[in-house]
Amino acid sequence: MSTSTPADSACCLPTFQGPLTTEEAEPLAAVFKAVADPVRLRLLSLIEHTEDGEACVCDLTAPLGLSQPTVSHHLKILVEAGLLTRTQRGRWAYFAVQRPALDEFGSLLRRRRETAA
């Protein structure tokens, strides 16, 4: 069983104390871009709410009403953004939510909203 995530993907988002630098903004922008698509938000939700916390592409096509290549494309973007992990089992790839990254993303959004208030 192998888990693969691209070397350039962030497993966790950094905590920011001041204005964002270019180096901080780039990986964060990739996460925002990944979740800015309704299909990707649904994929995160579907995978998060599975019984065992992971799903195969074949389990995700019917709920979304999309083809396997389209779903795979969206999953790849979520993996590259560090929000999902991908585990290969024979011919099938299984995806799971990268909980620390998703929690930190939500925490970052809450902190920004609280400081704006």
**Domain CATH number, residue 44:** 1.10.10.10
On whether residue 10 sits in a domain, the answer given is no
Using a pLDDT cut of 70, give the percent of the chain over it: 74
Residue 19 domain-assigned (yes or no)? no
**Distance (Å, rounded) from C-alpha 95 to C-alpha 106?**
20
Number of H helices, E strands in the chain: 5, 4
pLDDT given at position 54: 94
- Does a structural domain hold residue 15? no
Does the pLDDT at position 10 exceed 80?
Answer: no
Which residue, among 10, 17, 49, has the nearest Cα to 32 in the 3D structure?
10
**Residue 48 placed within a domain:** yes
pLDDT category of residue 1 using cuts at 50, 70 and 90? very low
Structure-token match 């922008």, residue found: 29
Give, in degrees to the nearest 5, the angle at Cα 59 between 88 and 68.
80
Q: Which domain holds residue 66?
A: 24-116
pLDDT in the model for residue 37: 95
Q: pLDDT by residue (tens digit) across 27-82?
A: 788 888 998 999 999 999 999 999 998 999 999 999 999 999 999 999 999 999 99
Domain total in the chain: 1
Q: What pLDDT is recorded for position 20?
A: 76
Query: Is position 90 within any domain?
Result: yes
Please give the mean pLDDT across all residues of the chain: 81
Instruction: Flag whether 13 is in a domain.
Output: no
Residue 84: pLDDT band by 50, 70, 90 thresholds? very high
Do the domain assignments include residue 70?
A: yes
Which pLDDT does position 116 carry in this prediction? 54
What pLDDT was estimated at residue 104? 73
